[in-house]
Amino acid sequence: MGDSFDFKEGEVLLFDKPYGPTSFSIVNRARGIIKRKLNVKKIKVGHAGTLDPLATGLLVICTGKATKTIMGIQDAEKEYTGTITLGATTPSYDLETEVNETFPINHITNELIHQTAKDFEGELDQMPPIFSAKQVDGKRAYDLARAGKEVKLNTKRITIKEFEITSISRSEDKVEVNFRVACSKGTYIRSLAFDLGKTLNSGGYLSTLRRTRIGNHHVDDAITTDQFQFLLHGDGLENS
C-alpha cells in the first residue's frame, strides 16, 4: 500500500498527533520516513497549522507540490474538543504552567455555563495568550513570557461558529467543562477558556484539547507516525 503514494507530485497526509511532541517533531519524523522510502536526501514537507505539545489530534502534513495548498487548508474552519477547568488560572492559560490564582465557583450553575458559552458565539475580538508564538519585536511571545518580561499583544478578530458544552462535572474546588468548538483560523482555545472563566466571575484554564477537524479533513481518517512508518516500510526502523 505504501507504493500508492506520490510524495513528490504531492500528498495531503492526516496525522493524529499524540500528547507531548511538538508539531515540528511530527513533521520531522514523517519527512524521515518518506526520505527513507524514496531513498532521497530532500523532500518538501510542511504542516497546515501547529498544535501545542499538550494538545492532541489532527495535524495535516503536505508533501511535494501539495505544499502549495497549505495556506488554503490553514484558512479553513477548525473544530476542537476538550476540557476547561473553572476555579483557577494559569499564566499560560493551560497546563504548561502551574496554577497561579484560585477563584470561587459556588455561584457557577450549569445553566449559567451553557448561557455564557452561547454568548461567545459569533465574531469577537480575542486577546492571544502571552505564552503564544505571536511575534513581539522580532521575538516569540512565549520566549519573552518565560523570561519574565512584559508582553504586549493586540486583540484579533475571530469567529466562534459553535461553542457547545457537552458535559459538566464538579468537585469541591473546581468545575470541569467538556466542550466542542467550531471556529475560524487564528482562534486560541486557551484564550477562550480563560475568557469563559473571567466572564463567569471566576477563573478558567484549558486542561485538555484535541483538534478533530480542519475544513473537510477529520481526525477519524488520521493515522499515527508509527502506523505511517509501518505502512511505508513494514517495520519500526527509520533513518531521518
From the list 3, 6, 52, 226, the catalytic residue is 52
Contact 67, 196 (CB under 8 A): no
Cell numbers for 20, please give them: 507531548
What one-character DSSP code corresponds to residue 68?
G
Helix intervals (H) in 97-188: 110-119, 141-146
Give the cell for residue 149.
518580561
CA angle 163, 184, 84 (to 5 degrees): 40
**166: Cα separation from own chain's centroid:** 19
Q: Which of 221, 111, 124, 218 is nearest to 168 (CA)?
A: 111
In what helix (H) or strand (E) does residue 176 lie, and over which residues does it extend?
Answer: strand 175-183
Amino acid at 76: A
DSSP-based three-state secondary structure for 108: coil
CA distance 194 to 197: 5
52 and 82 in contact (C-beta within 8 Å)? no
* Cα radius of gyration rounded to whole Å, the chain: 20
Q: In the annotation, is 173 catalytic?
A: no
Active site residues: 52
